[in-house]
Amino acid sequence: MDRMLVVIFPNESKAYEGKRALQQLEGEGSISVYAYAVLTKNADGTASVKQGDDVGPLGTLVGTSLGSLIGVLGGPVGVAAGAAAGMAAGSAIDLNNARVGTDFIDDVQKFLLPPNVALIAEVDEDWTTPVDTRMEAIGGNVFRRALSEVSDQVDNEDIAAMKADLAQMKAELAKANADRKAKLQDKINQLDSKIQAQLERVKQRRDAAQRKAQAKVQVLKAKADAAKAKAS
């Protein structure tokens, strides 16, 4: 299952130890790591990405959810660092693209206070024990959330509701008098424009999801090829 993983450590040294533990777990076959970053929050409220993954298509495509989560957790500096690595930016869309829910963000924010440091990763894991055991042993506090596709469901419901309104207005238009027809037609045109814009946003999001899925396959294949070459 694809999950967003945030592990809070008491300092940078422990966070880097946690990063190495993730890599070891991947080498053992316990998880797959698609992207990661080490995020620090400073006493003045600023934040910075100390270290991030940049493996071919990973940074530009798979990093979308990770980069958005950095933007939400880290604020403007975190977003800027994410964008520099090819991740998503823009506070208006960050939370939606992070796909984890505001309650998850709130839980993490309570612990992500100086001098604590966060190891953030997008992973695929079948069960939670390997990561939890390894991270807890080095002082990490683990938060995880399955990556949600709920935004697609919400978009579909919104479009269905708007289409129902549009059908009702068109039915009224057929029976309206001349003065009313002009006002109704204007509303119909506006609503139809909104529906088309929403459909385009849904298409773009689905296209991006397909590109990310393809990128994940490429990343996993590249890692498998590298491991095979190293073993030979």
Do 105 and 6 fall into the same domain?
Answer: yes
pTM for this prediction: 0.64
Q: Which pLDDT belongs to residue 145?
A: 85
Quick check: 186 pLDDT over 80?
Answer: yes
Spatial distance between the Cα atoms of 79 and 75, rounded to a whole number of angstroms: 6
What does the mean pLDDT of the chain come to? Answer: 78
Among residues 148, 170, 188, which one ends one of the domains?
148
Do 6 and 95 fall into the same domain?
Answer: yes
Quick check: 88 pLDDT over 80?
Answer: no
Among residues 148, 173, 202, which one ends one of the domains?
148
Do 34 and 107 fall into the same domain?
Answer: yes
Do 164 and 113 fall into the same domain?
Answer: no
If one compares 87 and 231, the residue with the highest pLDDT of the two is: 231
Do 185 and 101 fall into the same domain?
Answer: no
Which residues constitute the domain of residue 61? 2-148
Neighbours of 119 (CB within 10 A): 26
pLDDT tens for each residue of 40-68: 888 777 778 876 654 433 344 344 677 77
Do 33 and 75 fall into the same domain?
Answer: yes
Do 6 and 104 fall into the same domain?
Answer: yes
Do 120 and 172 fall into the same domain?
Answer: no
Instruction: Count how many domains the chain has.
Output: 2
Q: Which pLDDT belongs to residue 33?
A: 87
C-alpha separations of 6 from 105, 117, 122, 194, 218 in Å: 10, 10, 9, 37, 24
C-alpha separations of 20 from 33, 89, 131, 170 in Å: 11, 27, 12, 61
Q: Which pLDDT belongs to residue 24?
A: 93
